Amino acid sequence: MSQDKNELHVLYFQVTDIWKRFCENHTELLDKTFEEYALLLSSDIDQLEEVLIQKQEIIKKINFLEAARERVITKLNIYLRDNNQKEVDSVSELIEVMQYFEDQNNTKHLYRFNMLLIDIIEKIQDQNKKNQVFLNKAINNLREIREEAMGVKSYSTYNQKGFSVKPLR
């Protein structure tokens, strides 16, 4: 293998490793997001605070990986520029550039890790929406209890995201 191919091969393994670690960290984040919902349902505030701290630590690890991803993509783009090739601007372009190594062993690791990462992120987003709806309803219930204790009557309806909407009077 030529020196140029070796350099690109090393970059392929670095990118693939980062994507693998992205998947691992996002899976941890998804697990904590599910745990957060269970704790919201059980009203275990002390445990919830601990889970939120753990989620922040996972997010820090993901941000570290993001910085590593940016460094590797910068190296890759320098390599591509030096070899008169188009620089990478998207993940699909990255996968296309790395296609040679994906096909070489018939493994498609980068492609599969990317598809898995997309799936995990979508699940995190869905669960975060459920958590937010639960929190919005809890906040509204607390407001209603406070208003009833103060002797104030108010009426509200909810939109599909769980946010209260005050009717026009």
Distant-in-sequence, close-in-space partners of 83: CB < 8 Å, separation ≥ 6:
4
Distance between the two ends of the chain, CA-based, in angstroms?
Answer: 76
The model's pLDDT over 44-65, given as tens digits with 9 standing for 90+, comes to 889 999 999 999 999 999 999 9
In this structure, what token pair is assigned to residue 162?
Answer: 């769980």
> In the chain, where are the structural domains located?
3-130
pTM for the complete prediction? 0.80
Nearest to 33 by CA among 16, 19, 51, 47: 51
E strand or H helix at 158: strand 157-158
Mean of all residue pLDDT scores within the chain? 88
pLDDT bracket for residue 156 (50, 70, 90): low
CA 155 to chain centre: 37
Q: Give me the CATH code for the 3-130 domain, please.
A: 1.20.58
User: What is the three-class DSSP state of 165?
Assistant: strand
| Residue scoring higher pLDDT (86 or 1) | 86
